[in-house]
Structure 1
Amino acid sequence: MNRIFVITMVCLCCFVHFSRAQDSDDRYRMPLKDVIGILEERYHIHIKYDENQVEGKWLHYAAWRFRTDVDETLRNILAPLDLKVNKEGEGKYKLKEYEYYRWEPQDGWDYLNKLASQYHDKDSWEQRKEQIRPDLYKAVKLSPMPAVPQSAPLVTKKRKFKDYTVENFALEIMPGLYVNGSIYRPLKSKDKTPLMLSPDGHWGGHRFRKDAQIRCAMTAQMGAVAVSYDLFGWGESTLQFDSKDHRRSLALTVQTLGAIRILDWMLQDKTIDVQRVGICGGSGGGSHAVLLTALDDRITLSIPVVSLSSYFYGGCPCESGLPIHGSAGGTNNVELAAMAAPRPQLVISDGKDWTAHMPQHDFPYLQKVYGYYGKTELVENVHLPEDGHDFGYSKRKPVYDFIAKHFGLDTSGLKNAAGDYDESGCVIEDEKTLYAFGPNGELLPSNAIQGYENLEKLFKD
């Protein structure tokens, strides 16, 4: 009875504030800025926001959204406007855009548990995989797969360094649509060579960054071929599209298709060992690695770095801009990562982003799935609780170790007695040196499409 009385009194008091905004047909509309002022006064809190976050926003029936609990009230007020708050201290909040891709950890764990209840052994898990995979292809608009262009890849002259070479490439993946990158090869190799696809995340500089070049150069010095390639709308892709197009849904399609076409092309090389084909990416590149491994059994080893989480779906449309997570009645990134089983997989996590709780719940789930095959030892987690969201040496070292271990590579000349790697033999090249279309785009093919509208038309046709 007391609760009902309190709620009634809150609503009546609110009407005093809101009556000036009431109109016979405006559904008790009131500017969000005014509503925030009432919230602060009534609950003795402070909400930090930028003017552009509240400008032009109105709320209907605001008085009915108030409750005795401040957090419940905030959700009722802000959810209809796709807004939320982050709590920054006692009584202190910051207004944020609603993040569809970020859940509370417990919500993500509960959902993963629900997914896991559908299978309990190898056979039931294999059935689940067979449900997910075709839906993934449909979700990324690659069912059926587009026809393969018959053009020859554009490959630049090799640049030779002490123990490896680099050449740039442009590969036509659909008529007039190109993916660009660089290929790092061992200078000398006696046998068939492993292949590592090396997508990158959303860090500034992308594949031209120092740490990205180091990772690929070290992979080549260890005896594997590394292929680094652009995100859609980044790097040389901006010769065809605006960088803003990266945050549109077809980015996910183009990046997936680009990786599949690169794999098709590289595996035609008779010097590549088709039994040793890996993919390693960080952040958004880690999401890309998980998806490609789930889609393509030709990938025999996967390393998602600072990306994998059951409560984080990828904050960019190139990770979550198409309904891949609706596949087979619903899935998430950790279940997709489990589709790698029993292929070797290393998950690298840190303590300062959405991978912070990897050892608590998500990794044990992966171990359970690998256990269906009797291969629990083939999935590993390197958790760095004091690290943040980057691809520094502390992440690269376990990557090198894992690739060497499972691909049988010789690292003796690259490691000291303490087990640390010497990366000083990696040459950091100028960004434009890594361009396939020339320093000023002068080699861009005449048939190259321009603009997102033409990309949409290409897929529609």
Structure 2
Amino acid sequence: MSYYTKNKNIIVLIWKILILSLVLLVGSFSWSQNSDNNFNEPISKTIEKIEELYKIRIKDDRNLLDDKMLDYASWRIQQGNLEASLTAILAPFDLVYWKESDSVYSIRKFDYTRRTLHVGKNRLNYLNSLYSNKMEWEDRKSILKSCIIDALQIEKASDLSNPKIILTKKRKYKSYTVENIALEVVPGVYTTGSIYKPLRPGKKNAVILTPNGHFGDGRYRESEQIRCANLAKMGAIVVSYDLFSWGESALQFPSEYHKTSIAQTVQVLNGKKLLDYLLKLPQTDSSRVGITGGSGGGSHTLFLTAIDDRIKVSVPVVMISSYFSGGCSCESGQPIHLCGNGTNNAEISAMAVPRPQLIISDGLDWTQNVPELEFPFIKNIYSFYQAKEKVKNVHFPEEGHDYKESKRKAMYQFMAEHLDLDLSKIMKNGKIFEEISVETENQMKAYGSNAENFPKNAIKDITELYALFGQNFEKRKHE
């Protein structure tokens, strides 16, 4: 046998051994994955192991873990990485964890609008990596603006050259008037609200939109009337309008439809169409347009400012967050937060740049981290325009989720400064004094106390509303 042949046989033998070993290895792996031992155990037991391992407490107040079994449960625990362990264990059941403190976590159902602070921080870090100057930000902003408009589908709405308008008789008070309006925004669909005007004959006035949030009694509530009336005293024409299927809007579409995705589209459209109407009035100044709202109204303050350059000053209240995008479909029912491969309300807020913006936050809701987290992010984008002084944050660490006196006073001063309003009109003895005539709900109804002025062409079928935007309600309902 030659040297070459001998070595060739040895090489072939080695290859056979390697192939046999590989077959045995694969067979062993297949057996282990398909054996009857799936290491299955109750997820609650796995959670107990995590509590012991990491010395924490995990609450399941809603009994979301009951009767749930998990394959390879303990194998999913990663020593040294609590959050990765919890994610691996909870994700198969569409559950998530919520960090309440360093030692206490709770279990919740997955909610795409409400994430954790950790997720918010990571998102801002990622967004910061996308742009470092004005040109890069302008490219990003252009992408976001186009996508938000498409996601909201507002351009699918039929344009009304001659919309129907219902205006009630004006009520005259000290330094201002109030009248109610029902304005047709698309064929057969109306927005309802109240317009506050200053008593300043012959003078041009600023315009301020005040989209409503999910506060009790909507635009009828006293705090909303106080805000609008005092802005009117200062020299602005102010419109406060109902949420979709809230207040008088519910006469057209019952409240059960408030949490549909079309609500977000209609509410943005309501603001735009009311602004169209107000800017056609001879006593308005189109160069001085502001917007402010709290909670859900804060969301719509962000959205309208982001897509409508006519708005020059914005004051979003208790809504800026990097990890919460609104708990209602009227704020997040359309996929605007998926724009640009993922955005959030902090980045949407920054789309106001370089226009003046006051961000009002508090210590007892999802805006509690604004001074340290979201505001520096937004301010950095303003720095691309050398406009850091145009964005401000007023934070109330001991206050909660509302738009009450302290927050209103901060807003009045900002609006006065940037919309050339007369703050002295609401001052008394050197302090802001909120004195108005509070109206009843019936006084504020555009359709009348018994809906006697309800428009005859108003549609009431939600499927017809979806069809106006080229959508199928039944299909959307089951998606």
TM over 0.5, shorter chain: yes
1:341 is aligned with what amino acid? V
The Cα of 1:194 is off from its aligned counterpart by: 0.2
The Cα of 1:96 is off from its aligned counterpart by: 2.4
Structure 2 unmatched ranges of 5 or more: 1-35, 472-479
Determine the C-alpha separation between the residues in 2 that align with 1:248 and 1:232.
10
1:174 to 183, 186, 189: 186
What residue number does 1:318 align with? 330
Determine the C-alpha separation between the residues in 2 that align with 1:283 and 1:87.
23
Determine the C-alpha separation between the residues in 2 that align with 1:162 and 1:172.
30
1:32-431 aligned within 5 A: 35-36=43-44, 39-40=47-48, 47-50=59-62, 53=64, 58-59=68-69, 61=71, 63=73, 67=77, 74-86=86-98, 94-148=106-160, 150-418=162-430, 420-424=431-435, 426-431=436-441
2:416 is aligned with what amino acid? A
The Cα of 1:400 is off from its aligned counterpart by: 0.5
Structure 1 unmatched ranges of 5 or more: 1-23
2:217 is aligned with what amino acid? G
Q: How many residues were matched structurally? A: 431
Determine the C-alpha separation between the residues in 2 that align with 1:96 and 1:218.
42
8 Å CA contact 1:65, 1:77 repeated in 2: no
1:311 is aligned with what amino acid? Y
Stretch deviating more after TM superposition (380-389 or 211-220): 380-389
The Cα of 1:150 is off from its aligned counterpart by: 2.3
The Cα of 1:95 is off from its aligned counterpart by: 3.6
The Cα of 1:161 is off from its aligned counterpart by: 0.8
1:198 is aligned with what amino acid? T
Q: Secondary structure at the match of 2:406?
A: helix
> Cα gap change, 1:413/1:363 in structure 2, threshold over 3 Å: closer, same or farther?
same
2:294 is aligned with what amino acid? G
1:16-27 aligned within 5 A: none
Determine the C-alpha separation between the residues in 2 that align with 1:215 and 1:50.
39
Q: Secondary structure at the match of 1:211?
A: helix
What residue number does 1:440 align with? 450
> Cα gap change, 1:252/1:456 in structure 2, threshold over 3 Å: closer, same or farther?
same
What residue number does 1:17 align with? none
> Cα gap change, 1:46/1:154 in structure 2, threshold over 3 Å: closer, same or farther?
same
What residue number does 1:16 align with? none
Determine the C-alpha separation between the residues in 1 that align with 2:410 and 2:49.
52
The Cα of 1:158 is off from its aligned counterpart by: 0.5
Determine the C-alpha separation between the residues in 1 that align with 2:339 and 2:277.
28
The Cα of 1:65 is off from its aligned counterpart by: 6.1
Larger Rg: 2
8 Å CA contact 2:188, 2:459 repeated in 1: yes
What residue number does 2:33 align with? none
The Cα of 1:314 is off from its aligned counterpart by: 1.6
Per-residue deviation, residues 360-397 of structure 1 (Å, max 9, x unmatched): 13222222222222222111111111111111111000
Q: Could you tell me the percent identity over the aligned residues?
A: 44
Determine the C-alpha separation between the residues in 1 that align with 2:383 and 2:58.
50
8 Å CA contact 1:196, 1:280 repeated in 2: yes
Per-residue deviation, residues 225-280 of structure 1 (Å, max 9, x unmatched): 11000111211111111212111111110001111111111111121000000000
> Cα gap change, 1:301/1:92 in structure 2, threshold over 3 Å: closer, same or farther?
closer
Q: Secondary structure at the match of 1:100?
A: coil
Q: Secondary structure at the match of 2:299?
A: helix
For normalisation by structure 2, the TM-score amounts to 0.83
> Cα gap change, 1:94/1:358 in structure 2, threshold over 3 Å: closer, same or farther?
closer
8 Å CA contact 1:149, 1:174 repeated in 2: no
> Cα gap change, 1:244/1:370 in structure 2, threshold over 3 Å: closer, same or farther?
same
What residue number does 1:4 align with? none
2:462 to 449, 452, 457: 452
> Cα gap change, 1:349/1:42 in structure 2, threshold over 3 Å: closer, same or farther?
closer
2:300 is aligned with what amino acid? H
> Cα gap change, 1:215/1:327 in structure 2, threshold over 3 Å: closer, same or farther?
same
8 Å CA contact 1:249, 1:321 repeated in 2: yes
The Cα of 1:429 is off from its aligned counterpart by: 1.0
Determine the C-alpha separation between the residues in 2 that align with 1:39 and 1:330.
31
Per-residue deviation, residues 299-327 of structure 1 (Å, max 9, x unmatched): 01111011111222222111111111222
Determine the C-alpha separation between the residues in 1 that align with 2:145 and 2:100.
41
8 Å CA contact 2:170, 2:179 repeated in 1: yes
> Cα gap change, 1:80/1:433 in structure 2, threshold over 3 Å: closer, same or farther?
farther
8 Å CA contact 2:362, 2:395 repeated in 1: yes
1:36 is aligned with what amino acid? S
1:422 is aligned with what amino acid? F
2:418 is aligned with what amino acid? H
Determine the C-alpha separation between the residues in 2 that align with 1:74 and 1:330.
23
Determine the C-alpha separation between the residues in 2 that align with 1:388 and 1:235.
24
Determine the C-alpha separation between the residues in 2 that align with 1:380 and 1:93.
33
> Cα gap change, 1:89/1:361 in structure 2, threshold over 3 Å: closer, same or farther?
closer
Determine the C-alpha separation between the residues in 2 that align with 1:167 and 1:104.
43
8 Å CA contact 1:281, 1:289 repeated in 2: yes
1:186 is aligned with what amino acid? P
8 Å CA contact 2:143, 2:340 repeated in 1: yes
